[in-house]
Structure 1
Amino acid sequence: MAPNVTLDVTGLVCPGPVIEARKIFNTMSQGQIMKLVSTCPSTRDEVGTWCAATGNVLLDTQETGPGVWAFFIRKG
């Protein structure tokens, strides 16, 4: 799955990663995919909650390194 946009927010504390993702999502078209990279442990829960509330779809979550997570989100 190739993302249309990659947003690296490593080092940013929660809720910063979801806030930054939301800004970019507002410029994306429906069906496009974002890869969100974060080191904040709470991002995992926050992304799921945000997707459920907005109709976006969390396609996959991958641990890409120690404490580094990549979230693949499709704009709904």
Structure 2
Amino acid sequence: MFDGSGSSAEGGSVSSYAWTFGDGKSGTGETTSHTYPNRQANYTARLTVTDESGNTDTATKPLTFWSFSTRAFCLAQ
């Protein structure tokens, strides 16, 4: 689960949330979910918020997945 509910806009409100997950997939909304491929890899998740005046800001989070047998585990940095 990806949660952007802690985002705020100075003097206004957030009007949109745009997510990219670093694997070619994207999502929208204050919260969203995404399933990564079951393999060992590094990704960078990115959230871009836009306020009602059209101003944007972006936050990123590196993610490392380790594959053990048939399951992958995520370690957020």
Q: TM above 0.5, one fold?
A: no
Query: As a proportion of its length, which structure holds more strand?
Result: 2
Q: Give the TM-score normalised by the residue count of structure 2.
A: 0.27
**Rg comparison, structure with higher value:** 2
Q: Give the TM-score normalised by the residue count of structure 1.
A: 0.27
